Amino acid sequence: MQDQDRIAEFKKSVQNKFNIYNSLFLNLPYSNIENVGMLIPLLMEQSQKGLKDGLNPKEIIEAFFNGFADLHTEQDRIDFMFRIIQYVERQVVLYDSVEDAAFPKLQQHSSSLSLKDYFQLVEKITLGTR
């Protein structure tokens, strides 16, 4: 039962909040990153389909650039991939922040101790032996 409670709390406090914040985040107007948020899921879908069809990564990226991103020079393509990396890094930071904020709620559904709990336990033991 404790695992089910922890999973439900995780979905509520982390997964759902991340999805909400991320959907807002994907549409924010960053300079030089226009449409990147909308193209990331499309690139993922095209990559999965291409791999399933036996294409190599270079063929998948070429098809994506030619069909969806309209990027023809190598420098434009490199810049676009760099912007994707920046975007994904921001998503990682967002997820980590949401997860950190939910830690106290998740900890209530766990039998493991936090670092703070260990310090309190050591303090009680130390005070009890005096």
With 0-12 / 13-18 / 19 or more C-beta atoms within 10 angstroms meaning exposed / middle / buried, residue 77 is middle
pLDDT at position 116 is 73
Q: Are 105 and 9 in contact (CB under 8 A)?
A: yes
Q: How far is CA 14 from CA 29, 41, 88, 91, 99, in A?
A: 24, 20, 17, 13, 6
Tokens for 52, please give them.
């399933």
Mean pLDDT of successive 10-residue stretches along the chain, which has 130 residues: 73 86 76 75 95 96 91 92 89 89 75 67 66
Domain ranges of the chain: 2-128
Distance CA 99, CA 14 (A): 6
pLDDT at position 91 is 87
pTM of the model: 0.66
Query: What's the half-sphere exposure (Cβ side, CA atoms, 13 Å) at 119?
Result: 3
Angle (CA) 27-33-38 rounded to 5° is 45
pLDDT at position 29 is 67
